[in-house]
Structure 1
């Protein structure tokens, strides 16, 4: 394998974790949030969901905003469970891929995500597959709500490269969003656009 880079930066949702937005929309509608589809995107959210993703509001504040729209009778767990319905599964093959690549590359995560999922259901999903913590698969983890910025802004890619201590051309960035890939490529990152629900390890090892 010809190594053009020493670091691989993975998106999380749609790349490592399989997603299903329609399940999330359905569960929120059951709680009475009829127009939730207007707030949820495949790659970036809007409204209170974007504010949560950007770290502008806490999980508690987000739940209160949801309750203002659907009624106060719903518990934190009910609201969180509806949101977590977005998350389907982590294929074991994806985790095996990360473990194998980690032997040869610095492995980082860069995800537009939120406090509710990332400090709740997502760590559980990693543990359920191989009994290993999420942090065991990645050398470095960067998430939008902690960085207070989201992809595809140039600033988030620049911040990650600076923290990693690398030049963009020393890293491969993998995402399922064409907009995110374009933003990274413009800054000089090597990039790979992948399709959700696909195994791309063979493509990666020949890149």
Structure 2
């Protein structure tokens, strides 16, 4: 057996596995939480744990939801990390990207992003990423948010519905060497 097969943590075997746009009988090998092999069924990939997917089920790739409002910290009673990510996992979503506006503070500075990350610790059932917010007066915060790993920026040209995330009265989009960034002026 080749070296990657000897170091697998998990093998999923099924007659109906969606891979590369085709449903076929496959074995899926996982190491350190990453899919490292997709082989025809019968290759006998070996791992510490093997799961036989029932014939009536289809093994699908995990979904990514790029627009989720986790309102923690500040409005956890609306939806917090524990409930949002459990619900995502139950629906086959493996990654959510949190929108920046409904938490207090909103994710418009690197410090606010740190607060969001701290609030999420120990509460996640799926992977979580973050959007940053572009609001009047925070154009200097956009590059630090980008450097901290936000996936993009959201702004509103009409009222957002929450006072903590004001609309941009005028927005100028400009290309920088690092990313597309919104700079706002009141």
TM over 0.5: no
> Scaled by the length of structure 1, what TM-score is found?
0.25
Larger radius of gyration: 2
> Scaled by the length of structure 2, what TM-score is found?
0.26
Which one scores higher on RCO, CA 8 angstroms, separation ≥ 6?
A: 1
Greater percentage in strand? 2
Greater percentage in helix? 1
